[in-house]
Amino acid sequence: MSSTLGIFRGECKRIKIKPTANLKCGTFVLVGGLVGVTTSAIAANTEGEIQIDGDYEIAIASASAAAGSLIKTTVSTLGGSDVAGVPVGIALETISSGTTLRIKLIPNYLAFLEPYKATGVYAVGDLCLYNNKAYTCKTAIASAEAWTSGHWTELGALATVTTTPAS
């Protein structure tokens, strides 16, 4: 996947953000455990919004996708650094080639993350949880190893919520 078009379909939920780097309109943004899309350009240290749900169109190089497949792309952090391979949505259509793809945004991908396994093998861009925080792999791990913080980039902390059923 390459870049976003900024075409929204239907009613969407938004949250306010204040990035420390400039963000273009239509940029996928990672905020802790949320993935959203900027609704307009946002200047550094200025409040703006990201949409965290709804249908969205993204520009693709020349790829294919099946309806229902998980779509991963590069997203920006509030500081402006890029994180590759982050799940952002589910394909809403099947295309064999083309320039745009309609997706349903996944606002909170952390629910799909697995805890770090010292016996695991990880590629650059893989995601995991460790000590209640989400990380992306920045150095490939080809054999078993204990957690090595230098091989990972922190994406954000998870909130722990306890609910009580209504009586």
CATH number of residue 130's parent domain? 2.10.10.20
Same domain, yes or no: 101 and 152: no
Same domain, 25 and 91: yes
Is residue 167's pLDDT more than 50? no
User: What 3-state class would DSSP assign to 46?
Assistant: coil
Same structural domain for residues 77 and 128? no
- According to the model, what pLDDT value does residue 158 have? 47
In a domain, 167, yes or no: no
> How sure is the predictor about 120, in pLDDT bands with cuts at 50, 70 and 90?
very high
Could you report the per-residue pLDDT of 22-54, keeping only the tens digit for each? 999 888 888 877 788 888 899 999 999 998 888
Q: Does the pTM of the predicted model rise above 0.75?
A: no
Residue 23 shares a structural domain with residue 82: yes
Look at the alpha carbons of 77, 57, 96, 62 in this order and tell me if their dihedral is positive or negative: negative
Residues 118 and 65 occupy one common structural domain: no
Cα separation, 72 vs 42, whole angstroms:
23
Domain extent, residue 132, equals 113-157
Give the Å distances, CA to CA, from 17 to 48, 51, 96, 141, 164.
5, 11, 36, 33, 30
Q: Are residues 8 and 82 in the same domain?
A: yes
